[in-house]
Amino acid sequence: MSPNYLYTDYTIRVGDVDIMKGKVYKIHSVVVNPSYNPMHHYNDIALLRTEKSIKFTENVRPICLPFHLKLYSRAPVIVTGFGSTEFGGKRSDILLAAEIYIVSHESCNRSYSVLMSKAIDKGITSNMMCAGSKDGSSDACQSDSGSPLVYYDSTRKQWFQVGIVSFGHRCADPRFPGVYTRVAYYLDWLLPIINLQKSSIPPKIETHFRESRRRRKYWYEEEHQ
């Protein structure tokens, strides 16, 4: 099936931790997964194509796609975004990050089944993944949707994007982990669109995080060696 390109006037900012800084790129088109239905949370993924190629610098690098990567329950992952730091709160102007942990499908399904939501009438499926913290101290929040969930493979010494922020119940509720689109599930869909081979490996990125004074988030910074 040929991808359905939607032409837009969107823009993105690249290369800074301040939401008002960084280089602006115009979006040429958007490719939405053909199985996506806005009335549900399934297949919540799209690709953006910029008008011009993004120039890689010390602060702008690609990230690995999760080929042959297995994540187990309680594996540490990091979510970043400019979303709210509490439910109903103001969006952050600075890029923030939170360390959370993978939650099993079984546990996540039990949590969300009590909501009886029509948006997830099939439950938490294999194209989704869940992550959170036991005490609810860290989580993605409102306006974080579309943000990356990343994992550092210490064996390969590479960062991988394993998920995309999709939805949750309120924010940082220990009873309900955040739900993410599982990137690995969609590799066969996205690879032909971006004309990428499975053997492609982006440059290595050394990234470090330090805790901030914010209660539920972490500041994000990179150190390049």
List pLDDT tens digits, range 67-81.
Answer: 888 888 999 999 999
Please determine, for residue 193, whether its predicted confidence score (pLDDT) is greater than 70. Answer: yes
In this structure, are residues 206 and 59 in contact, taking their beta carbons and an 8 Å threshold?
Answer: no
pLDDT at 24: 93
Specify whether the backbone of 178 is left (phi greater than 0), alpha (psi in -120 to 50) or beta.
beta
* CATH number, domain 75-185: 2.40.10.10
pLDDT band at 221 (very low <50, low <70, confident <90, very high): very low
For the chain, what are the domain ranges?
5-60+187-198, 75-185
Specify whether the backbone of 22 is left (phi greater than 0), alpha (psi in -120 to 50) or beta.
left
On the question of a common fold for 5-60+187-198 and 75-185, the answer reads yes
The proportion of the chain whose per-residue pLDDT surpasses 90, expressed as a percent, equals 62
Q: What are the DSSP calls for 146-205, one per residue? A: T-EEEEEETTTTEEEEEEEEEE-SSSS-TTS-EEEEEGGGGHHHHHHHHT--TT--PPP-
Question: Alpha-carbon torsion 97, 101, 102, 103, what sign?
Answer: negative
Please determine, for residue 209, whether its predicted confidence score (pLDDT) is greater than 50. Answer: no
Residue 56 phi, psi (nearest 5): -80, 135
What is the C-alpha separation between 68 and 176, in angstroms, rounded? Answer: 28
Q: Kindly give, in sequence order, each residue whose CB lies less than 8 Å from that of residue 86, ignoring residues fewer than 6 positions away.
A: 141, 171, 172, 215, 216
Annotation: CATH topology of 5-60+187-198: Thrombin, subunit H (2.40.10)
pLDDT at 22: 87
pLDDT at 135: 87
pLDDT band at 137 (very low <50, low <70, confident <90, very high): confident
97: nearest Cα among 58, 169, 152, 31:
152
3-state secondary structure of 110: helix
pLDDT at 220: 35
Return the C-alpha torsion angle 108, 216, 83, 161, nearest 10.
-60
The rounded mean pLDDT for the chain is 85
What is the C-alpha separation between 127 and 33, in angstroms, rounded? Answer: 12
What is the C-alpha separation between 81 and 131, in angstroms, rounded? Answer: 15
pLDDT band at 143 (very low <50, low <70, confident <90, very high): very high
Top-ranked range on mean pLDDT: pick from 17-21, 31-35, 68-72, 221-225: 31-35
Mean pLDDT of 79-104: 92
The proportion of the chain whose per-residue pLDDT surpasses 70, expressed as a percent, equals 85
pLDDT at 194: 86
Lowest mean per-residue pLDDT among 20-34, 64-78, 136-150, 199-213: 199-213
Lowest mean per-residue pLDDT among 12-21, 42-51, 206-215: 206-215
